[in-house]
Structure 1
Amino acid sequence: MTGLRERKKQQTQEALSWAALRLSVERGFGQVLVEDIAAEAGVSPRTFNNYFSSKAEAIAWRQLNRALETARGIRERPRSEPLWESVAEALVMHEGIERQPDPRWTAGVRLMMTEPALFGEYLKASAAAERAWAAAIAERTGTRPTDMYPQLVAAALSAAHRVATEQWLQADPPVPLATLAREALRQIAAGLPDPSVQ
């Protein structure tokens, strides 16, 4: 029963988050009410408030949820696999290596990274993501989540994802996000060699 309740909760959160994102892209963030989001998701405003404290938090939930999936992916990768390879594979497992970006998702990510009212929730979700990644990396490396190494790897992972996302939003012609994320992590794992001397 716990598993069923958790799945139903996850489905409701996902429906509300998608509705908040979709309506904000279509109408503008400031033109969307909680009541609009709830109606779009087929639930009551009270149900919305049971899950999220604001529409910004609802939109940022998608980022946090993906980050938690990445942490789970890091834990599930083979222990014989090099850490940076495991981190890269876990990060891109939802992105699709060859798939071109969906314009609706691109618009949603652009909104989340440029709308001032959303950016604070984006930063909170990023901080929570780093803590989840550090815990997963600590398990892989036999360290503590508060040790410097897992925190540094988690911060590097966060930076790689942010930079890859910014490159993805600007790419013309479009490039799959997973390709850019892999390249960002490859450069970090290589010690960020100076490109001017290669």
Structure 2
Amino acid sequence: MAGTAPPTPPVAAALPEVGRRERKKLATRAAVRDAALRLAVRHGVENITVEQIATEADIALRTFFNHYSSKEEAVVAAAAAGAEALVVEFRARPAAESVLQALREAVLVVMDRHDAAGRDHLRALRLMRESPSLMPQQMAVLTAQEQALARAVADRVGPPAVEGGPTSIYPQLCAAAALAALRVVLDRWLGHATDPDDAPPLAVLRREVDEALAHLATGLDTVAGT
């Protein structure tokens, strides 16, 4: 009949089911991450087991290993989510902002979150700061973040427009230097905390970020005594 829509292909009927499975998978992964973080904050990373995390998340032990390879990876997952959020915010900044200005604004947005994800990110950062056993997982998170940020910087600046402009090394070098500066800044900022359950003042973070990025913008090379 004219005007009648064609029948929906069979494959389309399966899409909602795939979506539900994926949502369930993500929900389980988040539940495991949350359970690991709660237990690590309460008892210390070294004093908890994968079995305890599985029990806390109300899942089977096999299910835990479907999502994470170790308790350490589960504990730092909230920090990994925060690292990904930083790159997303950086990509969303207006094109008129410079790379370092866009990064500054992205950092402040991510660290000023007061929702559950923001609180968990902060808890994970504190745990990584205090727990040497988390260093390998922390380095994995930082490496992934550096690679993602380098791609975002490359997309932002585009190919060199003039001789002496950004070259192929620029995005990678910029991402590595900026994230190293931010690690120093966040460590100093967390050191200002007076209550382990509260974030230090954002004004302190803003001041530290501005100083660190200003040094990057003007160059680190200097002469002793100047």
> Could you say which TM-score interval applies, normalised by the shorter chain?
0.7 to 0.9
Structure 1 Cα separation of the partners of residues 51 and 176 of structure 2: 36
Q: What amino acid maps onto 2:81 in structure 1?
A: N
Tell me the percent identity: 37
Supply the RMSD in Å over aligned alpha carbons. Answer: 3.1
Tell me how far 1:139 sits from its aligned partner.
0.6
> Which of 149, 154, 168 is the matching residue for 1:147?
168
Higher RCO (CA < 8 A, seq sep 6+): 1
Tell me how far 1:182 sits from its aligned partner.
4.3
Q: What amino acid maps onto 2:213 in structure 1?
A: L
Tell me how far 1:6 sits from its aligned partner.
4.7
Counterpart mapping for 1:1-198 below 5 A: 1=16, 5-96=21-112, 108-143=124-159, 147-171=168-192, 174-176=200-202, 178-179=205-206, 180-192=208-220, 197=226
Q: Deviations over 1:131-180 (max 9, x none)?
A: 01101111111149x92101111112211221112102221663337423
Give ranges in structure 2 of 5+ residues lacking alignment: 1-15, 161-166, 195-199
Of residues 88-97 and 158-167 in structure 1, the stretch that sits farther from structure 2 once superposed is 88-97
Question: In structure 1, the residue corresponding to 2:171 is in which secondary structure?
Answer: helix
Q: Is the 8 A contact 1:67 1:132 kept in 2?
A: no
Q: What amino acid maps onto 2:54 in structure 1?
A: A
Q: What amino acid maps onto 2:212 in structure 1?
A: A
Question: In structure 1, the residue corresponding to 2:111 is in which secondary structure?
Answer: coil
Structure 2 Cα separation of the partners of residues 167 and 153 of structure 1: 21
Structure 2 Cα separation of the partners of residues 163 and 49 of structure 1: 33
Count, aligned residues:
193
Q: Is the 8 A contact 2:50 2:71 kept in 1?
A: yes
Structure 2 Cα separation of the partners of residues 117 and 191 of structure 1: 34
Structure 2 Cα separation of the partners of residues 72 and 105 of structure 1: 15
Question: Considering only CA atoms, is the larger Rg found in Structure 1 or Structure 2?
Answer: 2
Tell me how far 1:129 sits from its aligned partner.
0.8
Kindly tell me: are residues 14 and 193 of structure 1, through their superposed partners in 2, closer, same or farther at Cα, counting changes over 3 Å?
Answer: farther
Q: TM-score, normalised by structure 1?
A: 0.80
Q: Is the 8 A contact 1:112 1:122 kept in 2?
A: yes
